[in-house]
Amino acid sequence: MMDIHKILQKLPHRYPFLLVDRVLEVEKNVRIRALKNVTINEPFFQGHFPNRPVMPGVLMLEALAQTAALLAFETQGEGVDENSVYYFVGIDGARFKRPVEPGDQLFLDVQMDRNKGGIYKFNAQALVGEELAVSAQLMCTVRKVS
């Protein structure tokens, strides 16, 4: 388990772009389960959509990517530093099945498919309760820059 303080040590994201509130479970090299509490106070709800607020799909994918980054950093045994950058390099098969609204808890489940040559491939899905909201395959890499 990882609380918000540990997440902030691992990820460079900050408000309003940090989209993971808590890690519930993690198995290095295997899987991670995290949580995003979706509240009406999120800045994107002001314009998406004012009469029927829903979480943008790209932000659901970003929440999954941040969760995948936490798994990658846990697997490597490292956190973020000024020389580490985590890049999205691909999204395949993204499917949106259910709108996510204020008050929902978005459970972020990510499984590592492979790690080859510094490129990670993940199978990811986000659920509200037992209902699938989005699923996708994500590819990411961690690079040291100077």
- pLDDT tens digits, one per residue of 48-88: 998 999 999 999 999 999 999 999 989 887 656 677 778 89
The catalytically annotated residue of 6, 13, 48, 98 is 48
Question: Catalytic annotation on 13?
Answer: no
* Maximal C-alpha separation, the chain: 46
**Dihedral (CA of 63, 60, 29, 87) sign:** negative
pLDDT of residue 79: 58
pLDDT in tens, 88-134: 999 999 999 999 999 999 999 999 999 998 899 999 999 999 999 99
Question: pLDDT at residue 142 above 90?
Answer: no
Per-residue buried b or exposed e for 104-130, using 16+ beta carbons within 10 Å of the residue's own CB: bebbbbbbbeeeeeeebbbbbbbbbee
d(CA 20, CA 63): 6
Model pTM above 0.85 = yes
What whole-number distance in Å separates Cα of residue 92 and Cα of residue 17? 22
Total residues found in the chain within this entry: 146
Could you give the 3-state DSSP secondary structure of residue 81?
coil
Q: Among 22-31, 35-44, 111-120, 137-146, where is mean pLDDT lowest?
A: 137-146
